[in-house]
Amino acid sequence: MKHVDLKTLTNQNREYIDKKIHKDFSDLLYQAEIDGKEGYVYFLFEHKSYEDQKVIFQLLRYMTRIWEENFNTKTKKIPIIIPLVIYHGKNVWKIDTRLWKYIEGIEVMPKEIQQMTPDFKFTLYDYSPKSKTEIRGRAIVQAVLEMLKAIRENDKNTLIDGFIYFVSLVEDETDIQLANEIFDLGLVYLMNTEADITKEELLKASLERSDSVQTLAQRLLDEGMEKGMERGIEKGKYDEKLKIALNLQKKGLSIETIAEVTELNPDDVKKLFEKKK
């Protein structure tokens, strides 16, 4: 925080392609001034259920590509890159975060050989269920990180508690639009993970709460009603189009013309007329 000027943070949407035409997407790459000079902050999100021992090589590969693209031909310099890893696997991260720890015998090698070998260390933020990493920041940031942490819980009740806590944090966000977007993302994320949980279970759990979290239940109910209304409206529109199609047939229009006017499938129009014969 003392070295990175947060006011200069600019998101860089980039894609790195290796020689095998395999695409690797940078999770989040931000350009920023670091001690008054151009630099980058690189976030790598590890959405794995296990510790990835090769993540450090992945980081090195990305950093090299960033340097290749940002080599200053005038100064012959490359920018500083601060690599950060956000991890939320099932187990606490125990793997070394320094490259030299993976290089066999590097500690006892002569300095001449050590100087030929690259070395760096990344900062790890462990948000696995049993991690002691403190979650700080504004409510919406805490909500997202709490969701990442809760999603790896093996116990369903603990997972539900984590999600409801996520909802309570989202409700504290003053930016209503942002809060709604994060809520929707959190719900979709939860439904699409390996977690064996249903909306009905979330609804039941939230109805049992006496605090503001009950708004979750109302949100889920409203969502169901809204989808039901949408289906009803669509059916109503379809039925109305069928009535128009029959009236147009009486006026002698062709099936192709009727389909074009009503935006119905020609086969549906044909089947409708056959039923009415």
200-258 pLDDT tens trace: 677 666 666 645 555 665 665 566 545 544 554 455 566 667 777 777 777 666 777 77
**Arithmetic mean of pLDDT, 27-31:** 89
Torsion angles phi and psi, residue 268, rounded to 5: -65, -40
What is the model's pLDDT at position 14? 67
Q: Are 179 and 221 in contact (CB under 8 A)?
A: no
Q: How far apart are CA 250 and CA 24, in angstroms?
A: 59
> pLDDT band for position 67 (50/70/90)?
very high
**Arithmetic mean of pLDDT, 51-59:** 89
List the structure tokens of 231: 């289906």
List the structure tokens of 22: 């395999």
Is the pTM higher than 0.75? The answer reads no
Strands 123-126 and 28-34: unpaired
Report the chain's terminal Cα–Cα distance, integer Å.
78
List the structure tokens of 132: 């002691």
Q: Which amino acid is present at 149?
A: K
Q: Are 124 and 103 in contact (CB under 8 A)?
A: no
Q: Is the dihedral of CA 214, 90, 129, 59 positive or negative?
A: negative
The pLDDT tens digits of the residues spanning 103-114 come to 999 999 999 999
What is the model's pLDDT at position 186? 80
**pLDDT for 267 beyond 90:** no
**Cα Rg of the chain (Å, integer):** 28
Q: Are 60 and 46 in contact (CB under 8 A)?
A: no
What is the model's pLDDT at position 41? 94
**Arithmetic mean of pLDDT, 46-51:** 78
Q: Are 159 and 151 in contact (CB under 8 A)?
A: yes
What is the model's pLDDT at position 121? 96
3-state secondary structure 141-193: HHHHHHHHHHCCCCCHHHHHHHHHHHHHHHHCCCCHHHHHHHHHHHHHHHHCC
Q: Are 139 and 170 in contact (CB under 8 A)?
A: yes
* Maximal CA-CA distance, the chain: 95
